Amino acid sequence: MKTMKFPFLLAVGLCALPLLAQPPRRVAAPCQLSSASLSLSGEESPDKGRGYSFQVANNSARTIAMPASPGFGWRVETLVNNNWKLKAEGGPVRFLGTSGSSDPHMAVTGPSASGTLVQIPPTHAFDFDFFLPEAEAALRPDPSIPLTTLKLTVYWAAPADLVQSNRDVPLCALSSVWVVKIQRP
């Protein structure tokens, strides 16, 4: 009986090793005192695709801080029979919930911050310009449908270590949606 326990414990321990190497997962609710808007930046790159701008507005009475290069999570959905259907998602911040759920919480599952911190004073905004090369394939319309409606949602929430190290970093998650209708040529 004792010889059976050791291989079982060893197997469980080996399965847990990859989990120990990951950063601590953190769940964040949507921000109430800061907001974000998503738009095209006007930049385009042959290898990265189209550029986006994520504008963060500080509506609170105190300064907030964000990394100069946030790692965004993203989700692309397409409108099918008046319902949004997931096409693809990626990045270090993920939407939590099941289809039909309105739970807007985000989970930080990987590094979502790099660079020095940008200070955003009260009643000011800051633009973060970036590319989403992994999302480009999902943002292409279906050639068999005359009019395709796509929704790109971009998320950001700070990883646990950044929130613990700086009180100006928002505890909440920022998200914004960009909806586009594309007609087949």
Q: What is the pLDDT of residues 69-104, one digit of tens each?
A: 999 999 999 999 999 999 999 999 998 865 555 667
Report yes or no on 12 lying in a domain.
no
- Report the alpha-carbon distance of residue 1 to residue 111 in Å, rounded: 43
Provide the CATH number for the domain around residue 41.
2.60.40.10
- Residue 13 falls within a domain, yes or no? no
Tell me the C-alpha distance between 153 and 16, whole Å: 32
Task: Tell me which H or E stretch contains 115.
Answer: strand 113-120
Residue 39 forms part of a structural domain? yes
pLDDT band for position 20 (cuts 50, 70, 90): very low
Based on the structure, what is the number of domains in the chain? 1
Per residue, the 3-state secondary structure of 146-173, as one string, reads CEEEEEEEEEECCCHHHHHHCCCCCCCE
Residue 9 has pLDDT above 90, yes or no: no
SS3 105: coil
| H runs (alpha helix) in 34-79 | none
Give residue for tokens 């909806």: 179
Q: What is the pLDDT of residue 143?
A: 85
Read off the pTM: 0.81
Tokens of 49: 């695709």
Dmax (CA) for the chain in angstroms is: 70
State the average pLDDT for the chain: 85
154 assigned to some structural domain: yes
Q: What is the pLDDT of residue 131?
A: 96
Domain ranges, residue 140: 25-183
C-alpha span between 126 and 22 (Å, rounded): 30
Is residue 10, in this structure, part of any structural domain at all? no
pLDDT single digits (tens) 131-153: 999 999 999 988 888 999 999 99
Residue 10 confidence (pLDDT): 44
